[in-house]
Structure 1
Amino acid sequence: MTQEATFSPVIAPMLPDAFSHALMQIVNRVQPSIVQVVKEGRGAGTGIVWKIDGHDGFIITNHHVVPDDATKIQVHLSDGRSLDAKVIDRHKKSDVAMLSVNADNLQAVEIADSASLRVGEWVFAVGNPWGQRGVVTAGIISGVSAPKTKEGNGELPIRYIKSDVILAPGNSGGPLLNADGMVVGVNAMVFGGDLAVSIPSNVVSSWIAGLSRRRQISLGIEVETVDLPAALRQKAGVGSKRDSGLLVVALETGELKEQPAGSGLLIGDLLLDAAGKSIDDATSLLDIVARKDREDSLRMRLVRGGNVLTLDVAVAALEHRE
């Protein structure tokens, strides 16, 4: 005899109300951190108040919202203020840009670790589609792409979050939020008519970390994410939950000034940890590297020739950026 599953007649009707209440709380909390970005007097997109080096007068948006030919840029705040904005820097390949405004009491968003996202997770988008302020849409994570990426020459690893939240012109540069109301991505585009594409928060944070030192840094390598066989996981002591590492597939010369290509790493090295933290994609590695100083070395654990090694890898600095 089988027993049918039963549901509480009291709890089940509460679920939609609880969900709605939680969403309203998220929206109310983040709205002051969402701005409208206006280019040459026309609505262009959305921006996010982002705390950088302890300061909250910065706005993150998309490169295509404030392209190189953009001149007069303003941001409209939720409290009704309109402020002139200055472009601090842009990165066309990853489609991110940083603006600064002269204002006090801006409320920065909380940033989450985008590497923890999972397919099926609820996410929310807030933006200004078609010039309408503060529009909210909901959806789920459909996938996270991690194509082959260069970690050399100061290039950012390009990785995208895919979801089914509804985006429209004017949403670009707005936040993709998790169920806790924290930013996991910056909304960028719609692909194929109904697939929303967002830039992971970790990619944005890595770019910002490089800018904060007015330079970009690199280990001078090209890496790919590969699976870790069970035997190798056991030998490396990484546990059953760890199923991937970074394989060095090429050495880059680029503009490195102080270290030979590869900075001591060899093609075929399988990278496991850097500075005591697990690395399973180029984004996580760059996030660690971007926080190192020119004189530093980076302690890495890797597999070479079937043996697990610990190696102090020299951090190579690229040219300073003006």
Structure 2
Amino acid sequence: MKRIYSFICILSLLVVLPVGAVELPDFKGLVKQASPAVVNISTIQKESEGQQNRIFRGPNGEELPDIFKHFFKFPEGGQPPQHKAPESLGSGFIISSDGYLLTNHHVVADAEKVIVRLSDRRELEAEVVGSDERSDIALLKIDAADLPVVKLGSSAELEVGEWVLAIGSPFGFDHSVTAGIVSAKQRALARETYVPFIQTDVAINPGNSGGPLFNLAGEVVGINSQIYTRSGGFMGLSFAIPIDVAVEVANQIKAKGFVTRGWLGVIIQEVNRDLAESFGLEKPSGALVAKVLPDSPAEKAGLQEGDIIQSFDGREVVHSADLPHFVGRIKPGMKARMGIVRAGKQQSLQVAIGTLPDQQQLAQATQQVPQTDQNRLNIDVAELDQERRAKWQVSEGVVVRQVMPGAAAQAGLMVGDVITMLNGQSVASVNEFNRVVADLPEDRAVPLRIVRRGSPMFIPLKLGD
């Protein structure tokens, strides 16, 4: 019996690995080849205005020359001023043998001095050639020659499930290596409109920012930038900027010192299942145009509120977040073709791409909005008042004064909302609103466009039997 039992145990061990199972990749060669081009980046931050303007005073309050400061009172708490030590913040990598490096914008933002520590332990001060906050990319230059460089790959060719490896300085531990797989591509993150992030499960921690993400061929495919965390540490979700995006940004910085991006001039929202039904779509997809900004490329191209953009420049717009990625990478002045759905029909429009305004100009432009109103939906509406017209630059619409239980309440309509469009028809007055409501189909969702506190949006509205 013992022999039979032993034989069974041996057989069980033999079937642990399935036929054709592949061993895990060996990263040793990749690390030896790539590590010399990865650097640690530390900075000395600019002093605040309060620190810069500290004045030494004598016993009677008189201002003292610097040579007397040690004999009397030290500023703020009795301690002599101390030189700031460099603070290790992140990582970077060398892209040319004459000293150009890439890292994150947030690693070097507001730095008075940037110090790069090479793999041979040399420490060199770096010049910030340029930095782009929107993409979180910074281009640095150090005065050195014959430096080791990384190989740049293509993030477009990267596939979900592919092995990737990160080298960086988490918590200041130089040249730490972690590995994982690509979890997803084209990820849109909050407040990061112009970067289609690569999501991985590679362990990334503070200090990895700006470091390279390699594929198994030893090519850089991304720049590690962010993590999703509730604990402050790694939780299995890390995000990298695609190297294709980073190189485009770096080339613009190197050529002209700043970055320009394409601009369409619309406020968009995601198409959910109910909105898809209300617009007569077979499935939820595309970017719903909630607002066309005045004097924008979109307005000049004839784009309208309520249009659903389903393709742009030959690429399918699956999620609304895809559209800013596509538009931003087109050079201003170039033309692109959009595939849209308007009133249930497919159309094609050509647009001449504009230049993305700065943050302040963009904020001012997006404050402008339209609106509307009515009542068979169990709501009370009124004509649009002059105060709202002026505050939100609204030309027409009706204001919701009261919402009672019913279809509108279930759709999420709120007091103060301005209704500008219902079921594809503009609403300029209470009478118009009532007329459109009277003709609404039952037991089918229709799109309702509102302006809420200055922000336009569509919501699906469905009347019951």
1:263–1:316: 8 Å Cα contact kept in structure 2? no
User: 5 Å matches for 1:7-86?
Assistant: 15-16=23-24, 19-20=25-26, 23-40=27-44, 41-50=86-95, 57-68=99-110, 70-86=111-127
1:209 & 1:291 partners in 2: Cα distance? 13
- Where does 1:79-94 land on structure 2 (aligned, <5 Å)? 79-92=120-133
Select the structure that is richer in strand: 1
Structure 2 counterpart of 1:126, which letter? I
Letter in 2 for 1:187: S
The answer as to 2:175 corresponding to 1:130 is no
- Which amino acid in structure 1 is aligned with residue 23 of structure 2? L
* CA-CA distance at 1:123 after TM superposition: 3.0
Deviation at 1:110, TM superposition (A): 1.8
Name which of 234, 237, 251 aligns with 2:292. Answer: 251
- In the alignment, what sits opposite 2:241? 200
Structure number with greater CO (CA < 8 Å, separation at least 6) is: 1
Does structure 2 retain, via aligned residues, the 8 Å contact 1:45–1:170? yes
Aligned Cα root-mean-square deviation (Å) = 4.2
Q: TM-score, normalised by structure 1?
A: 0.69
Is 1:170 the equivalent of 2:178?
A: no
The structure that is helix-richer by fraction is: 2
1:166 partner SS: coil
CA shift in 2, pair 1:130/1:122, >3 Å? same
Deviation at 1:306, TM superposition (A): 2.5
What letter matches 1:48 in structure 2?
A: F
Partner SS for 2:119: coil
Map of 2:266 onto structure 1:
221
**CA 1:283/1:108 → structure 2, altered by over 3 Å: closer, same or farther?**
farther
CA gap of 1:304–1:32, structure 2 versus 1, over 3 A, is farther
Shift, 1:59, TM fit: 2.5
**Contact 2:263–2:332 (Cα < 8 Å) also in 1:** no
Larger Rg: 2
Q: Percent identity?
A: 31
Q: For residue 383 of structure 2, what is the aligned residue in structure 1?
A: none
Where 1:26 maps in the other structure, the secondary structure is: helix
CA distance in 1, matches of 2:317, 2:157: 11
Residue 306 (structure 2) aligns with? 268
In 2, the alpha carbon distance for the partners of 1:251 and 1:50 equals 41
Query: How many pairs are equivalent?
Result: 292
Write out per-residue CA displacement over residues 260-295 of structure 1, whole angstroms, 9 at most, x where no aligned residue. Answer: 757532233333333333444567544554454443
CA distance in 2, matches of 1:117, 1:126: 20
2:446 is matched with: none
Residues 261, 329 of structure 2: 8 Å contact kept: no
